[in-house]
Structure 1
């Protein structure tokens, strides 16, 4: 709590009419007793704090002069306080963004002075009827919505309201149609009907009936036909993303809605070319047409006429042609997404004028040629994504010398040449350079300012360097190169490492026991993924949010809205026999894995690896490791995938491995293991594929009995003892049979018989022939 409440501090403020404690870090219960002493209080704002507990407002409900009450953005629980309906002077009531449950009472209709009502983002259930509000003739702002799927707002009843709304927000209300009473509303300037089940035609009549409408949000519905009004409109913001439009996009959009500053039509099925009339929207700042079926070239009018654009997202379409072959007049463009299209040719010179560019994403296209060095000279560029193209040549050193670089993704191209000695960014960088033709050594200073380094599947050679300054690295992936030599002990100093993949190289020597000193054992979770794996920014003032909010003393003030833009990256790592991609802001933050497979490592597995407490995936397969499976592996409590196959391991499988409750994949196939296979817990789920190529293993799931009859093992200890006895018996039986056969042969040779004479004659002839060959 920032500052404690006390009656002593408030008791003398008997004439106080306004108390604003919003946007602090107050927690605990609402100080109802202290507030109740303020008999003349008219406006109370406790919003944007951390108040919790039950919303018991009996004391506050006694303040009959209360006109404004804002408890939004807290953690209050319980049902709607029914006593609030007795505050007949109340003009502003905001209980949004709490955890309220139950039904909204019909007694809300008693608050006839209400002008602003917001109950958004709670867990209300049941039915709500607009008819309850028939007496609220002063209502101007109405916001309803619930996180519960069982909240239902009646949208079909026909009634004529007395109020004249400016703002209506009905998010997640299970609406199937646009509420009919809106047909009588002529003064709307903000309409949000997102996250419902509204189907059919786009309600262009809302624009025709409300000439002052500035914001229309219909995101995440099931609309199928997008239609525009016949005459031009001054709409500022339009969002119809995540619907089911699958036809040609209107060619005249820029003529009918020339004043748009924000338009999002993403995640639909719009077809055809992008309209050239988009160039009429000279004031547009944010345009998202991603995840549609647009094709053809970018309209020249777009790159020449929309000179206020700051955010342009064209991703996941079928757009083609060259990438900005001529100078673009998008001088304020900061976020440019052109990925997953069919763009061809070189990276155009037109991008060179975009000096404010922050993020450039042209990945997953058909680009050819080299990467121009001037890309790295764009002064504000901090995320460059050019992966999955056909780019060739060397990587310009200018890309590594950017002071504010955060993300460089050049993976899956045909880039060649070596790596620079270091990265000059002042902040930890994500470098994704895998699946290219890079060659040469890895510089020992290369990890100085790198948080994620992916160099998989290149042609790098030499030893793994004794890296200098490894404090930033969280993910180091070197799989699929030609690296040789031993695993350097300097890797044991990786105190922030989460994923280390050295597989499919030619590394030799033993596994360093000091790997137990890394964060695999310490369990340190790197927080860098929040800051650098999820690169974000904000677009402010793209449209004035006319979501009018009643400030204290009932002053009206517009709020500016912010749109968060972000770029996540994916990191691939093999776990559970699958090669999965993990998002940098998702599960990757909690994933710890070590892969040393497909090398030439030898020696015994260090028992210290059993101390890797946080490890979830450990792969040592396809090496020349010998000795036994360490008993200490029973301490890998978080391991989900353990692969020791294709080595020279011998001895028993430690029975205590059956206690690893998280183990989902276990593979020890093609070793020299013997004895009884442990049973219990996860081991009961493993099939024969986990144990192939170990003929001396017995017990389930194999068909080999451990005692010659049936397998009876009440617990792991008993099975281990039986295994030991069986092996001793086997050795004694084998020795006795060998001695018996040998004595029988010697005895038969001691008698004079045709068989014995033939035997001695053959031996004598062999000796004579061998002597002639040697001399």
Structure 2
């Protein structure tokens, strides 16, 4: 008898049956709810909570909530399969959270049409299941019995077929918080005959990242007077900000960013005395009335109005009453900044974004007074002059992200905070080597030093950055060999256009997370490592998320440079061009089937293109030009339907270019410099060119035939040299017979002696 048999089973059988039906649709590959099979008492199952008195199930929490660390976001393993809404039949259920899993189906097939038992439910969260979302709902009529519901989050579920979503949630008289972000909701639709009084208690409304393309209607701000949080970013809302917004006098959080709003910010917005968070960035707002509009919002701690069309002066008067300000974003604006050199702001910022503004040539002196900065972005702001002592002190304090790219900074790189995890000093004129103190920044996740005048070796630094995911040292004068020890988290490595020499270390092809490798334009030599390429992210599909805190990066692909701000990378690339590499290209390289760009041009590679290249179905850019490759172009190359850039020129390829929709679409420049290559788009194959392959084959065949013939002749000559002589010369023949008779006699005598000896014993 097991220990479990002695435990008190207090779970209600009806509740247990409902939970068991719910579990049938779940795929639990990681054993996250293994206790549902090993424990008899369902109140002891993972995620299940029961009332201590009634023993009825009151709470089901199976969220696989990601652990968000600003520096190292990680994701727990999740449940998959079906959400069976029979779970709402749990009579005393008050809390249901199935968020942040990978469910891809939601089923109402077994649920009763009238869910009377769900009247106790006050918290329901089905959000963030599967990215991109495949969860769909055709209607929200099932919500109507949930009269006690206060919190509803369906974010990430496809509701594009639900045209009456507003009417559906209006049936929930207790609703305080409604989150419907990324639900593919269409324009605001309202039935004027319906009274929306049930929404009067709503405090939080999140409709971000939908397909709302209309203007903001005035009635929308009359639904509730008590709203404290309104989130409408990442839609296509256009028109002006309506004055009816001022009806929301209790508003603390307003986010209208990433839309197409026009006009100016209403002066009346200063009447929202409780506003703490104001996000209006990435719109088409204009005007120069910012000072009078915002200077009275004394509760404001977050102000983001960058990337609009504002103009006019901005001075210390704008911020004189904003003593609570913690986050300030004025980036990509045409403001004329008129701050006194001795101005000391009334606030201490944690985040400051002034990229793409005209701050220079002097570093803004008021920023030196900010003692709590965690993130500073002054990229492309025209700065060239700094107070060295104050500047060094400031930089060493910034503990998260530091972006100073596209300015005119000179001298050596500054020391950085030991807690820093992202630095971008690209496109400046920094010189010298990487400071030794950078070794102490163990948490560095991203380094971008592209296009400076830096030099020296980097070996001693790289091995200390255990968390590094992105390393961009391109367009400098770094030398030495490529470091052998690197972070196992490395995803992007760019060493392009430096003075690195030696061979490519084998360890580099054992970086399972690496998906962008650029070693082009160096002095690397030797052959490529012949080993198992454990570049997992180049073999199997993985979702590459965006990195919001790693600055920008330069990717060379398809023969040109792509500049990607706030890095969103899904380009899987290997670029080893313009080195002195030689030998055969390992077959393992052509097994990286997720590669989109492969550039091996301007080296000394030999050998042929393997047939397995046809398995690289996602390849978009392939450059093998200016090598010593030979043989035919394999027919499988014609199967690469996504290829947009192809260059096989200046090699020793021969025969006819395979016929396929892609290969004939490229111009002559993709194939020139191969004297024995023919077929469209080159000239039609002549008899000479067509016969070159057969000539090659004939030569090969002649060699083989000569070899076999030589072996045959040699055998015959040896055979007749001996046997023929015995046959023709009588003395030799008699001597041969006497020799054979003598050997036979000796064998006979030896055998008889041994036999007699054996018998005597």
* TM-score, reference length from structure 2: 0.70
Partner in structure 1 of residue 754 of structure 2:
none
Whichever structure has more strand as a proportion of its residues is: 1
Q: Which residue of 2 aligns with 1:698?
A: 678
1:228 lines up with 2:267 in the alignment:
yes
Q: CA deviation at 1:283?
A: 0.8
More deviation, 181-190/279-288: 181-190
What displacement does 1:315 show? Answer: 1.5
Residue of structure 2 equivalent to 1:63? 117
Aligned position for 2:484? 467
Task: Name the structure 2 match of 1:517.
Answer: 532
Equivalent position of 1:657 in the other structure: 637
1:112·1:137 contact (CA, 8 Å) conserved in 2? yes
2:279 aligned to which of 203, 228, 239: 239
Relative to 1, partners in 2 of residues 1:186 and 1:659: Cα closer, same or farther, differing over 3 Å? closer
In structure 2, the CA distance between the partners of 1:458 and 1:120, relative to structure 1 (3 Å rule), is closer
> Structure 2: where are the runs of 5+ without partners?
1-31, 44-48, 65-78, 130-134, 701-761
Distance in 1 (alpha carbons) for counterparts of 2:699 and 2:142: 85
Match of 1:547 in 2: none
Aligned equivalent of 2:327, options 278, 286, 289: 286
The 5-angstrom pairing of residues 625-644 of structure 1 reads 625-626=605-606, 628-629=608-609, 633=613, 639-644=619-624
Structure 2 residue aligned with 1:685: 665
Structure 2 match to 1:409: 448
Q: 1:587 aligns with which of 545, 566, 569?
A: 569
Q: Distance in 1 between matches of 2:355 and 2:411?
A: 22
Provide the aligned C-alpha RMSD in A.
Answer: 4.5
- Residue among 341, 345, 354 paired with 2:385: 345
- Alignment correspondent of 2:430: 391
Aligned-residue offset at 1:699? 2.0
What residue in structure 2 maps to residue 358 of structure 1? Answer: 400
Q: Is the 8 A contact 2:450 2:475 kept in 1?
A: no
Q: Distance in 2 between matches of 1:114 and 1:620?
A: 64
Tell me which of 417, 439, 458 is aligned to 2:476. 458
Q: How does 1:44-123 map to 2 (within 5 A)?
A: 44-46=95-97, 48=99, 50=101, 52-55=105-108, 57-58=111-112, 61-63=115-117, 65-66=119-120, 68=122, 70-73=124-127, 77-82=136-141, 84-85=143-144, 89-90=147-148, 92=150, 94=152, 96-97=154-155, 98-100=157-159, 101-104=161-164, 108=168, 111=171, 113-116=173-176, 118=178, 120-121=180-181, 122-123=183-184
1:217 to 244, 255, 265: 255
SS in 2 for 1:342: coil
Contact 2:482 2:505 in 1 (8 A): yes
- Is residue 550–residue 566 contact of structure 2 (8 Å, CA) maintained in 1? no
Separation in structure 1 between the aligned mates of residue 50 and residue 433 of structure 2, nearest angstrom = 75
Q: Which moved more, 1:473-482 or 1:334-343?
A: 473-482
Closer, same or farther: CA 527–298 of 1 in aligned 2, 3 Å: farther
Cα distance between partner residues in 1 of 2:169 and 2:618 = 56
Contact 2:326 2:351 in 1 (8 A): yes
User: 2:757 matched to which residue of 1?
Assistant: none
Residues of 1 paired with 2:172 and 2:485: CA distance?
71
Gaps of 5+ in 1: 150-171, 430-450, 535-564, 709-718, 732-775
In structure 2, the CA distance between the partners of 1:681 and 1:515, relative to structure 1 (3 Å rule), is farther
Measured after TM superposition, the shift of residue 587 of structure 1 is 3.5
- Give per-residue Cα distances to partners, 1:673-722, cap 9 Å, x unaligned: 332222124323233212212333222222233348xxxxxxxxxx98x6
TM-fit CA distance, 1:394: 4.5
- What's 2:369 paired with? 329
Change over 3 Å in CA distance of 1:275–1:44 after alignment to 2: same
| Paired residues of 1:23 and 1:47 also in contact (CA < 8 A) | yes
Specify whether residues 240 and 301 from structure 1 end up closer, same or farther in structure 2 by C-alpha distance, changes over 3 A only.
farther
**Alpha carbons of 1:361 and 1:348: their partners in 2 closer, same or farther (altered >3 Å)?**
farther
| CA–CA distance in structure 1, aligned partners of residues 633 and 172 of structure 2 | 77
Q: 1:656 to 1:263 in 2, by over 3 A?
A: closer
User: How far has the Cα of 1:592 moved from its partner?
Assistant: 3.8
Aligned partner of 1:738 in structure 2 is: none
Query: What residue in structure 1 maps to residue 202 of structure 2?
Result: 141
Residues 1:608 and 1:707: Cα distance change in structure 2 (over 3 Å): same
Shift of 1:83: 5.4
Structure 2: distance between partners of 1:113 and 1:23:
27
Report the secondary structure of 1:346's partner residue.
coil
Q: Which residue of 1 aligns with 2:59?
A: 20
Show the 5 A alignment for 1:2-17: 2=33, 4=36, 9=42
Name the structure 2 match of 1:759: none
Q: Secondary structure at the match of 1:58?
A: coil
Match runs of 1:174-185 below 5 Å: 174-180=213-219, 182=221
Note if 1:382 corresponds to 2:421: yes
C-alpha deviations, 1:205-249, integer Å up to 9, x for none? 644x55443233333242311232376834222222222222224
SS in 2 for 1:238: strand
Q: Quick check: 1:292–1:317 contact (8 Å CA) kept in 2? A: yes
CA distance in 2, matches of 1:624, 1:86: 73
Q: Is the 8 A contact 1:94 1:118 kept in 2?
A: yes
1:287-323 residue CA offsets vs partner (Å, 9 max, x unmatched): 111121123355668753212x211111122222422
Q: Report the count of equivalent residues.
A: 630
CA-CA distance at 1:399 after TM superposition:
2.6
- Give the match for residue 6 of structure 2: none
Q: CA deviation at 1:653?
A: 3.0
Deviation for aligned residue 1:345: 0.3
Higher relative contact order (CA 8 A, sep 6+): 1
Residue 177 of structure 1, CA deviation: 3.7
TM norm structure 1: 0.68
Kept in 1: contact 2:623–2:646 (CA 8 A): yes
Q: For 1:567, what is the secondary structure of its paired residue?
A: coil
Inter-partner Cα distance in structure 2 for 1:315 and 1:179: 35
User: CA 1:525/1:285 → structure 2, altered by over 3 Å: closer, same or farther?
Assistant: farther
Q: SS of the residue aligned with 2:663?
A: helix
For the 8 Å contact 2:451–2:475, the answer to whether it is kept is no
**1:336 to partner: Cα distance:** 1.4
Q: Render the CA deviation track for 1:697-752: whole Å, top value 9, x for unaligned.
A: 222222233348xxxxxxxxxx98x6645789999xxxxxxxxxxxxxxxxxxxxx
TM-fit CA distance, 1:31? 6.2
- Cα deviation digits, residues 174-222 of structure 1 (max 9, x gap): 4424424746966554444545666555445644x55443233333242
TM superposition shift of 1:636: 5.0
Question: Counterpart in 2 of 1:503?
Answer: 520
State whether structure 2 residue 726 is matched by structure 1 residue 667: no
Instruction: Say if 1:66 and 1:323 are closer, same or farther in 2 by CA, change over 3 A.
Output: same
**What are the Cα deviations for residues 595-639 of structure 1, in whole angstroms up to 9, with x where unaligned?**
1x3344455555665555554433333334455555565565554
